[in-house]
Amino acid sequence: MITMMGISHQFKIGKKGKERIVPVLHDIDLSVEKGEIVAIVGRSGSGKSTLLNLMSGYIRPTAGEITVAGRMVTKLDEGAWADFRLAHYGFIFQNFQLISSMTAYENVELPLVLKGVGQSERRKRVEKMLENVDIAAFASHYPSELSGGQQQRVSVARSLVLEPPIVLADEPSGSLDSENEKSLLTMIKQLNHELGITFVIITHDDQVASVAHRTIRLQDGRLARQAPLVSVESIKETFDLAKGGHHS
Amino acid sequence: MKFGDQLRFVRQNMKRNKTRLFMTVLATAMGCAFLTVLASVGFGLQQSMVEEITGDRLVTEITIYGKNPDKFDTQGIQNGDIDYFQSLPNVKAVTYRNYIQQYMDPSIDGNPVNVNQRIGMDFEAEKQAGFGLSAGRLPEGNNEIVIGYHIREVMDEEGRPSSELPAASEWVGETMTLQVSYYEDGELAKKPLETVIVGVAEQPTKEWNRDRNIYMGEEMLTQIEAITGTQLGELPYFEVAPTKEQVQKLIEQLPKPTGERQYQDVTVVAENASKVKGIAEKIREQGYFNHSIADELKQVNMLFTIMKIGLIFVGTIAVLIASIGIFNTMTMAVTERAQDIGIMKAIGAHPSVIRRVFLLESSLIGLFGAIIGTLVSYAISFAVNAGLPIMIEVLMEETLPADFKFSVIPPYLAALTCVIALGVALISGQRPARRATRIDVLSALRREV
């Protein structure tokens, strides 16, 4: 689903003329399969957020190529990237990133509005999505009137309302308490299983990483370990069994 | 993103800071009102001036006032000339006035009527040229006449018209007696001519123009000429009683009715104003001296066009100043909404969508300002036209003509103001809108913008 080949990235810091180049990622090769949940872990400054930003198209790699859903995206211009993001990605952010002047309903509706979906179709899909994440009762609430867990549910609903094939999550449980974190992880597992959505999750939380089929560890901008402990299929089987009554 | 959703977005955004929005729209409205009112003075003065110049004349009229002696033997306009004018393409009618050269002591029921001119004319041509009547009809029979609108006006001792004007229309159907003077065997004699009043000419548009004339047809003129034996009923003037021979001698010198007639006040009426220039040039080439209002209006209109352009230019500066407010408001809006823009871009909003939303917002500010400004301009224009003549009368003791207008706002001026305001608003919104599209997603998500 996502392939990164020879990806390097470096930042320029300091004032113009006295710039200093700071390398962040070095020659990364990785691929994420369709239907996988991949956790990217590492210490602060290891480059995991940069890796996710490269996948999202928010920044461009200094070197290397990125292919998403069979399309070379490295050289897309800003407008094309925007269209590509809308068509292929859902985003879950650490700080939820909801628009404060919009209600929960309007925040979830936003991707549909951007895509130009008609009003009746929008209403149907938003209401269904709010039901799915169990936040329908708070549809008319503004983000400031919602708890952290509720805001993250709205954020998840917004990321999935267009039914994207890939969801990129940056520290999704970073602002949540343990109970809300657990609930979010269950939701991710369910969505992955039921809809086959591919998840790439940036985290430094072991519990979050535990729901992943595969964990990629970054260390000083390099891949430290890429560990498909078991195959995706076998994980799915295990998940099915767990859903059938056993605790995984 | 659909246009309706863009409008909804803009409406939501506008609600965020209503005071700032109100002040910006107010500034734009003031700029637009200034532009419209300023330019309306140019339009108003032009209209009043043109009306003053044209007076009761039509813009389709070409006045013929003689012939070039190098090309013609005679200078007066004769039958052949009238026929030539009538033969020209795009000529609607050729009218003339033949002034009868004696007073004829008009009276009704033995009471004398104070008249000005006694005019012989071709009513058929006048009908086509649009001779206006306020009552009755044009003459059809031999002894029928039309009287002027002010014919019943009575003068006071100082020669000024009295304020009361009995309606001339009451005289329609009355018999007016004209005493035609003539010489018989060297003695001045009078022959009464009974005429029936069938119509009253319409009131001249200029209040200073008093119409106390009698209008009669060709047949009646012929009758008068038959009595006097001279053209236009002209009689020789004697300071002392003449002898028969003296009378005979002078009458012999006057033009006979059978001779070539000279027409006065000849006017060629074009089918429409656009044909005037062509006809006027053609007959000028043939050697006829002529003049049309189009000639006068050309220069006046040129002067006012330059004036209006100048006023619109000055007014546009006011709108440009207002545009600084729009620019400022939009820049503030982009800064305030930077994080929202970042979130929208992060989830897939195309830069052109963001640009369009901000341009739509600035356009709406410009449009609201233009609409409010235009409505205010109409109110100011109305107040100025109603109030200024009163102020001038009170403070300067001068009276303006009744229909004088200082300010006129034609619909296309209002439309032009809206277009200018909209254009300026769009230009003002360009830079902030471009800035919005350049907001860095990561900086916005980290709340660094």
Provide the 3-class DSSP secondary structure of residue B75: coil
Residues in chain B within 8 Å Cβ distance of A56: 346
pLDDT of amino acid B449? 57
Whether the predicted pLDDT of B15 surpasses 90: no
B126, B138 contact by CB (below 8 A): yes
Spatial CB neighbours of A234, under 8 Å, sequence gap ≥ 6 = none
Q: Which of B415, B418, B420, B412 lies closest to B43, judged by CA?
A: B412
Q: What is the pLDDT of residues B119-158, one digit of tens each?
A: 999 999 998 888 889 999 999 888 999 999 999 988 777 7
For residue A173, what pLDDT band results from cuts at 50, 70 and 90? confident
pLDDT of amino acid B301? 82
Burial group, residue B17, by CB count within 10 angstroms (0-12, 13-18, 19+): middle
Dmax over CA atoms of chain B, in Å, equals 122
Q: What is the CATH number of domain A2-243?
A: 3.40.50.300
Provide the 3-class DSSP secondary structure of residue B358: helix
Residues in chain B within 8 Å Cβ distance of A84: 348
Residue numbers of A between 73 and 92 with CB closer than 8 Å to B? 78-79, 82-87, 89, 91
Ranges of each domain in chain A: 2-243
Residues in chain B within 8 Å Cβ distance of A142: none
Q: Report the complex ipTM.
A: 0.85
**Which DSSP helix (H) or strand (E) runs through B377?**
helix B351-396
In percent, how much of chain A has pLDDT > 70?
Answer: 90
**Which DSSP helix (H) or strand (E) runs through B17?**
none
3-state secondary structure chain A: CEEEEEEEEEEEECCCCCCEEEEEEEEEEEEECCCCEEEEEECCCCCHHHHHHHHHCCCCCCEEEEEECCEECCCCCHHHHHHHHHHHEEEECCCCCCCCCCCHHHHHHHHHHHHCCCHHHHHHHHHHHHHHCCCHHHCCCCHHHCCHHHHHHHHHHHHHCCCCCEEEEECCCCCCCHHHHHHHHHHHHHHHHHHCCEEEEECCCHHHHCCCCEEEEEECCEEEEEECCCCHHHHHHHHHHHHCCCCC
Burial group, residue A7, by CB count within 10 angstroms (0-12, 13-18, 19+): buried
pLDDT of amino acid A240? 53
Phi then psi dihedrals of residue B258, to 5 deg: -80, -15
For residue A247, what pLDDT band results from cuts at 50, 70 and 90? very low
- Amino acid identity for residue A78 in this structure: E
Tell me how far apart the alpha carbons of residues B155 and B162 are, in angstroms, rounded to a whole number: 6
Residue with tokens 């009669």: B216
Across all residues in chain B, what is the average pLDDT? 89
The shortest C-alpha distance from B449 to chain A (Å) reads: 14
Spatial CB neighbours of B73, under 8 Å, sequence gap ≥ 6 = none
Across all residues in chain A, what is the average pLDDT? 85
pLDDT of amino acid A23? 87
Mean pLDDT in residue range A51-55: 92
pLDDT of amino acid B415? 93
Whether the predicted pLDDT of A228 surpasses 50: no
Q: For the whole model, what pTM was predicted?
A: 0.68
The shortest C-alpha distance from B358 to chain A (Å) reads: 15
Spatial CB neighbours of B199, under 8 Å, sequence gap ≥ 6 = B133, B135, B136, B137, B138, B139, B146, B147, B172
